[in-house]
């Protein structure tokens, strides 16, 4: 049941495609100036853009702030192996 409570705490707020605030972030898997991959309560979230930078990340509150030119937000369920892994079975 506690898993359901945590999932309800995940939120994404984008302001003008330049500022992004995300809650429910467990970890930052990788990042560079074009892609930031986050482990969230709702799965893996890829943030794609240009000149991306992380302005703040708190592991205690699970909040992250990202700035840059944001082009896409893509969720995936890495635990299931992804689309192509399932396709090849």
pLDDT surpasses 90 at 49: yes
Note the pTM of the prediction, 2 decimals.
0.78
**Domains recognised in the chain with CATH numbers:** 2-77 (2.60.40.2000)
CA 43 – CA 35 distance, rounded (Å): 16
User: In this structure, are residues 47 and 86 in contact, taking their beta carbons and an 8 Å threshold?
Assistant: no
pLDDT surpasses 50 at 5: no
What's residue 77's pLDDT? 79
pLDDT surpasses 50 at 15: yes
Report helix, strand or coil for 17: coil
As beta bridge partners, residue 15 has 19
């Amino acid at each position: 049941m506690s898993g359901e409570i945590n999932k309800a705490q995940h939120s994404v707020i984008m302001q003008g495609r330049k500022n992004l605030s995300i809650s429910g972030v467990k970890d930052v898997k990788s990042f560079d100036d074009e892609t930031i991959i986050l482990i969230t309560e709702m799965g893996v979230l890829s943030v794609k853009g240009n000149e991306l930078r992380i302005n703040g990340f708190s592991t205690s509150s699970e909040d992250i702030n990202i700035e840059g030119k944001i082009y896409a937000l893509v969720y995936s369920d890495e635990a299931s192996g992804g689309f192509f892994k399932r396709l090849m079975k």
